Amino acid sequence: MPVPGEAAAGDATAGDALDQFGRDLADARHAAEAAEQRATAATAQLDRRKQESAEAAARAEAERVKVAEAEGQAARMVAEQYRTGPLGSLLRLFLSDRPEDFLGRRQQEFARDRTAAEVLEELRQARGRLVLAADRARQAEESAAGAAHEAQQAMDRAKTAAARTEQLLGATSADQLDLLEQQETARADLAREQLLAAGAFGPGGSASEAGRRAIAFALAQQGKPYLWGGAGPDAFDCSGLTSQAWLAAGVALPRTSQEQWAELRRIPLRELRPGDLIIYHDDAGHVALYLGGGTVVHAPHTGTVIKLAPVTMLPILGAVRPDPGAPSAP
């Protein structure tokens, strides 16, 4: 028969081990999702750089065509002058049967000389533009190559972080994971109630019309799976859900949680209202849509589905308001 004290010690040890596993898993999931958000941003930057490179190359090609046209005009002008140039103007006047015709042709030559000067000036300018366009095309191509390298590195880091999460999940049982999730939910619920009671989230306010449309979209996605880089319609990552929810409300948001934190208006938690976005972790690695009453809807992480959760499910960095027509905090 086990000694009671030993049993209690064993239970405590098992509990400590589960708590440590929970912290390790949370850290791994956080690292994976933050890396995935950065990889998504890097991939979007690569797409922009590729487009810029293609546009710069097209402009350079257009300038090459203009240079070729100007060079052709200049070549024709030189050939014409060579053809008509051997006799001096005065001698041709004396030999002409109709001097008045010759004088008329001289006026045309003067006009052609002015046109030739314009052609040569256009050729000079076109060559200058070509040099500038070619340099910009080269810079754009180098920028795209650098963005491709950065995107690949970000993808590699995200895959490494995701593999760490899978390794941890593979080392525990489904029952332990269920118990861990129950414990995390209970702690988050308790923290939410304490913060609400302390007035940390303030009295709140009603959602704007755009906010209501964003909430309706996000709630309609419940049960759909999390997918790295997903932006619907069948799967989403955290920022894919928030950006698409607000797009459904007519507001285009930055694509990733880090960009949403960096570019949208920040508001104090006491002024939160439904439709605002909650940003989590010091590196802004996760985002959720606030519903009011201390509850959010979000796409948690790989292996889960879009669902409701306490606003305190993760360490809160702050909140931002996507609604462009809403007043900001003083």
- The residues that are catalytic are 238, 286, 298
Distance CA 227, CA 36 (A): 10
The token pair at 200 is 């940390």
**Helix (H), strand (E) at residue 129:** helix 99-170
Half-sphere exposure of 213 (CA within 13 A, CB side): 12
How many C-beta atoms surround the C-beta of residue 115 within 10 A?
12
How many C-beta atoms surround the C-beta of residue 91 within 10 A?
10
Q: How far is CA 202 from CA 210, 272, 285, 314, in A?
A: 21, 7, 25, 19
Residue 244 gets the label, from left (phi > 0), alpha (psi -120 to 50) or beta, of alpha
Answer whether 309's CB lies under 8 Å from 288's CB. yes
Q: DSSP readout, 53-116?
A: HHHHHHHHHHHHHHHHHHHHHHHHHHHHHHHH-SS-HHHHHHH-S-HHHHHHHHHHHHHHHHHH
